[in-house]
Structure 1
Amino acid sequence: MSGDALFPRERTVVAPGAVHVPGWLPVERQRELVEACRSWARGPVPIRHTMLPGGGVMSVQTVCVGWHWQPYRYTRTADDVNGERVAEFPQWLVELGRSALAEAYGERPDLSGEHAQEHSPYSPGTVPYSPDTALINFYDSAARMGMHQDKEERSGAPVVSLSIGDTCVFRFGNTETRGRPYTDVELVSGDLFVFGGPSRFAFHGVPKVCPGTADPATGMSGGRLNITLRETGLPG
C-alpha cells in the first residue's frame, strides 16, 4: 500500500464539500498524535468498546476528548463507562483542526464548487472553526464501521478526520441512504479527510482495514487510529 513515491496520490474532491488530502500529516506529527491518543486511552475515561442501545457492541474501540460520545448523544461525564469527566480538549487540537480545514478548503472554503460561499459558514470575517470534541477510534484488523451519519452535533461545521497506522477502505456515501451511490477511498497513514457543507451529513463507514500496512515510524505497530474533530454546538 505504499508506492506513493512512484505514484503520488493527489488531493481529491470526492463530493461537494468532501475533500481527501493524502499525506497531510508528516510522520513526526503522526507520532506525536499517537502518544497523545495513548495518554487519553488510559483515562480519566479509558478506551472501550461502545455498547449500542440494542445490546450490540462496536468492534472499534473509542476514547473521547472534550465531550463524551455515547449512542447517540454527548455528555461531559462518561456515565456509560466510569462516570468520570473526559479529558479537556486542548487548544493545540483546535489549531490542528483549523489548519486541516484551511488545507482542505483554502482561505475561502470550497464546499460546493461555484456556489461555495452560499453553503460555507467559514468565509472571512465569520467565527473561525472551533472544534470542541474528538472521537478517537482504534481499529484492529477485524474491526469495521457500518454506514452511519455524524448527526449528534448541533453544529453543521465540517468534520475533520485524520488517519494514522494501517490503511483502510473508507466508504463515503450520500445523505439519503446507507446504500449506493458511494465512493470507496483508500486512506493511508497521514491522510486528511474533511467533509462539510452539502456532504456534512453523508453516510460513511469503514468496511475494511488492511493489516500490516502501518509504518512503525509513526509509533503504530499495527491497527489504525482515526481521529475525528467536531464542533458539538453545545453550551459550555
Structure 2
Amino acid sequence: MAEPNSLIAHLIELRGRVLKAVVSVFVVFLCLVYFAQDLYHWLATPLLDTLPENAQMIATDVASPFFAPFKLTMVLSFFIAIPVVLFQIWGFVAPGLYRNEKRLVAPLLFSSTLLFYLGMAFAYYVVFPLAFSFFTSVAPEGVVINTDISSYLNFVLKIFFAFGLAFEIPVAVVLMCWTGVTTPDKLRAKRPYVIVGVFVVGMLLTPPDIISQTLLAIPMWILYEFGIVIGGIYTRKKEEQEPQDEL
C-alpha cells in the first residue's frame, strides 16, 4: 500500500500534468480563434465544392454563425495539442513501467497519434469528396440542398472520430499480442470474421451509403493485417527478451 505522502505527491504531479495539458489546448485555441471563420470555411470546402449551382449552406439557429466556428476551433485545438497531452500522460506513467514496457509504450504513443491524424486526413481528402458527391447526386428532383452549418459540423466531427479511432487498429492489435491476450496466428485464423466485422463497423459508423462504408472498411482491414505483422515482430522480441531477463 502506498504511503500517504507518496500518494499526495502522485496526486500533485497528476494535477500539474493535467494543468499543462489543458494549458496547451488553451494556447493552441488562442492561436487559432482569430481564424475560426476561415477554419470553418476550410472544413466546409468538400461540401461546398459538390453543392449544385445556387445551393449554399445556411444557419437555422441565431447563434450558429458564431458557435459553429467556435466549437470547431475548440475541437481542432485539442486535436493539435494531442502530442502534448500524450507526452504528459507518458511523463506520469513512465516511472512505473519496466524497461521493456517503456520500449513498447513510447512507440505506440507516437504511432497512435500519427494514425489518428492519418485517419482524419483520409476522411477529409478521400471520404468527404466522394460521399458528398454521392449525397448531392441522389437528391430528389425539386429538392434544394441547403445544409445547416451546425448539423454539418456535428456530422463531420463524428466521421473524423470514426476514422481516427478506426486507424488505431494496429495499436490495439499490437497491445493484444504483447499482453498475451491473443497471438498473431490466432488473429490470422480469424481473418474471415474480421473482414465481415469491418464492413459491419463501416456500416454503423458512416452515413448509409456504400462508398463511405467501403472507404472505412477496407483501410480497417489493411490496418488489421499491418497490426498482425507488427504484433508478430513485437511478440518475437518479447520472447527473445524473456530468457535474457531470467539470466
> Which has the larger Rg?
2
TM-score, scaled to structure 1:
0.25
TM-score, scaled to structure 2:
0.24
Higher helix share: 2
Higher strand share: 1
